[in-house]
Amino acid sequence: MIELKNITFSYEGRNQGGLRDINLTVKDGECILLCGRSGCGKTTITRLVNGLIPRFYAGGLTGQVLVDGKDIADLTMYEIAKKVGSVFQNPRTQFFNTDSNSEIAFGLENQGMPTEKLRQRVETTAVDLEIQSLRNRSLHALSGGEKQKVAFASVYAMNPDIYLLDEPSSNLDMDAIQDLRKHLKFVKQQGKTILIAEHRLYYLMDVADRIVYMEQGQIAGIYTPEQFKAIKKDERERMGLRAVDLHEVHPQFTSPGVTEDKILKLQDVSLFYRKQAIVEHITLSAGMGEVIGVIGHNGAGKTTLSRTLCGLHNDTSGQFLWNKKPQDRKKRLHRSYMVMQDVNFELFADSVEAECSFGIRNPDKSLIEATMDGLGLLPYRNHHPNTLSGGQKQRVAVAVSMICGKELLVFDEPTSGLDFDSMEQVALLIQKLSAMGKVIFVVTHDYEFVCRTCSRVLHIDHGEQCDDLPLVPDNEENLKKLFSI
């Protein structure tokens, strides 16, 4: 059993993400879904249960956190780790090794498990979670979704009583999300207790026993799945929550700036990594204002394509043309801007406001102000980017994409970790960029976001370009099939 008694916590040097007067009891074997806007305190609750607060996140804490009747404050991290396993939003932050086998085995090694038993446990983990294809792989060569699977496996291998998951679906494709759902049901059947902080809600409606909705650091409501699904769409969106049933989400068929003239062309483009073909024979044309969703399974080559479009990956063949003129790697670099899947790689300045003008000559201050305002970043203009939540960091990177004035924009999983409000803000921003005539590629697994932003969908899988689907009313059923809905 987990008990949070009269918990109040505030992060040192931060006004957001803390908790006030939290009282919550989680029974053994219960699955609790924590939901609410970015910064509402979901992740903070998980950090209290795994002991990271106050040991690694400083701040003012009052109240008690009890696990099986023992105060977390009285336990060592080693003792906590025996009971509690954590899967973080960004799996890279919890890796200690360079290959998948070693990472899955790492916790077991620290527990002193005998070698033969350890090997058997790693094998059993791979079979149970159906990730044999990820065995003996370099972590650096895995996609974001594949890394998330390895992170979950490393926790599963240790067989904890309590699983804590922070936005575990943020980098997963639709099939992998269903695998995650199956795995959560599997560990729940084993009697494990699960706390999961999540923005994507639809896949958990038949897994969660209770849904805890949070607002500004407080518990604003606790629902059964039936009560939660009964909340009307407008009210749910007002609460900052995303869809609970993707069958009720429909494409909006908005493409404000699309022109008939094709300014970008890819002619028989193939992508390679270490001399191995990843995707072959891509041929497409894009007009100004087009918003092209790039979809496919984890590891299909979507991110490699996005990096290639921006000149960040050069092991390619075929032709890139802009306005009928060949574009080598340098020209593509000059013309494009990419919002990376892991935004920590592109945040350099010491404040949000400084980040929005970093590396830009003669930045337009009024544009910076308007963009921060439009993305809800003004309250954090003087905050260091690394003190923001994952969703807020994503919005900062998106803001830079609008301010920098590039013609080709690529967004790699731009809604990773975003609540409904932030997802809608990013969708509106992309629509503005489309109206400005930008050519935009969006690498995503997010069906809700595709429905709000894209004019067509490029489907890449099994090493080839499978579909190029215009988003017109007649294609809605085909779109749902591509997303396995």
Q: What is the pLDDT of residue 375?
A: 83
Residue 390's pLDDT is: 65
Task: Spell out the SS3 assignment of 121-174.
Answer: HHHHHHHHCCCHHHCCCEHHHCCHHHHHHHHHHHHHHHCCCEEEEECCCCCCCH
Does any domain span residue 253?
A: no
| Same-domain check for residues 233 and 374 | no
276 shares a domain with 176? no
pLDDT, position 173: 85
Helices 115-128 and 144-158 sit at what angle, rounded to 10 degrees?
130
For helices 174-189 and 144-158, give the axis angle rounded to 10 degrees: 10
- Cα angle at 41 between 39 and 45, to 5 degrees? 145
Task: Compute CA distances 172 → 168, 179, 300, 458, whole Å.
Answer: 8, 10, 12, 18
Q: Is 267 helix (H, G, I), strand (E, B) or coil?
A: strand
pLDDT band at 256 (very low <50, low <70, confident <90, very high): low
Q: Looking at residue 106, what is its pLDDT?
A: 93
Contacts 24+ apart (CB under 8 A), 53-57: 53/9, 57/11
Range(s) of the domain holding residue 102: 2-248
The better pLDDT of the pair 260, 294 is held by 294
- Angle at 89 (CA atoms; ends 46, 117), nearest 5 degrees: 80
pLDDT for 198: 95
Whole-prediction pTM value?
A: 0.84
Q: Is residue 363 part of a domain?
A: yes
Q: Which two tokens stand for residue 268?
A: 């028989």
Which has the higher per-residue pLDDT, 260 or 443? Answer: 443
- 87 in Cβ contact with 166 (< 8 Å): yes
In a domain? residue 255: no
**Confidence at residue 253, expressed as pLDDT on a 0 to 100 scale:** 65
Q: Which residue has the tokens 């049933």?
A: 245
- CATH number for the domain spanning 395: value is 3.40.50.300
Q: Would residue 131 count as lying in a domain?
A: yes
Task: Read off the pLDDT of each residue in 253-270 and give the average, rounded to a whole number.
Answer: 79
Is 414 found in the same domain as 326?
A: yes
Choice among 20-24, 36-40, 65-69 with the minimum mean pLDDT: 36-40
> In terms of domains, do 225 and 266 share one?
no
> Does any domain span residue 209?
yes
Does residue 274 sit in the same domain as residue 241? no
Structure confidence at residue 344 (pLDDT): 82
Residue 257's pLDDT band, with cuts at 50, 70 and 90, is low
Q: Residue 471: its pLDDT value, please?
A: 86
- Cα(205)–Cα(72) distance, rounded to whole angstroms? 30
pLDDT of 208 higher than 90: yes
335 and 285 assigned to the same domain: yes
Domain end among 195, 219, 248: 248
Residue 336: predicted pLDDT? 93
Final residue before a domain boundary, out of 248, 279, 296:
248
Q: Where does the pLDDT of residue 170 fall: very low under 50, low under 70, confident under 90, or very high at 90 and above? A: confident
Average pLDDT over residues 438-458: 93
Please tell me whether residues 70 and 215 are part of one structural domain: yes
Q: What is the dihedral of CA 342, 345, 346, 348, to 10 degrees?
A: 140
Average pLDDT over residues 305-328: 93
pLDDT at 426 over 90: no
User: Which amino acid belongs to residue 221?
Assistant: G
Best mean pLDDT range from 154-163, 367-376, 400-409 = 154-163
Q: How confident is the model at residue 391 (pLDDT cuts 50, 70, 90)?
A: low
Residue 335 included in any domain? yes
Which among 222, 248, 274 is the end of a domain?
248
% pLDDT > 70, the chain = 98
Residues 313 and 437 in one domain: yes
* Sign of the torsion angle spanned by Cα atoms 284, 424, 301, 476: negative
Please write the tens of the pLDDT for every residue from 181-197. Answer: 999 999 999 999 999 99
**Residue 148 and residue 89 share a domain:** yes
Could you count the other beta carbons within 10 Å of the beta carbon of residue 61? 18
257 in a domain, yes or no?
A: no
The answer to whether the CB of 287 falls within 8 A of the CB of 258 is yes
Give the range among 53-62, 257-266, 352-361, 445-454 with minimum mean pLDDT: 257-266
d(CA 466, CA 146): 21
Residues 227 and 146 in one domain: yes
pLDDT, residue 255, reads 58
Q: With contact defined as beta carbons under 8 Å apart, do 320 and 330 qualify?
A: no
Instruction: Please state the domain count of the chain.
Output: 2
Q: Which residue has the tokens 């996609």?
A: 143
**Tens digits of per-residue pLDDT, 122-142?**
999 999 999 999 999 999 888
Give the sign of the dihedral formed by CA 373, CA 376, CA 378, CA 383: negative
In a domain, 164, yes or no: yes
pLDDT(417) > 70:
yes
Q: How confident is the model at residue 259 (pLDDT cuts 50, 70, 90)?
A: low
Q: Is the same domain home to 91 and 115?
A: yes
Q: Are residues 418 and 315 part of one domain?
A: yes
Name which residue leads in pLDDT, 482 or 472. 482
Q: Is the pLDDT of residue 408 over 90?
A: yes
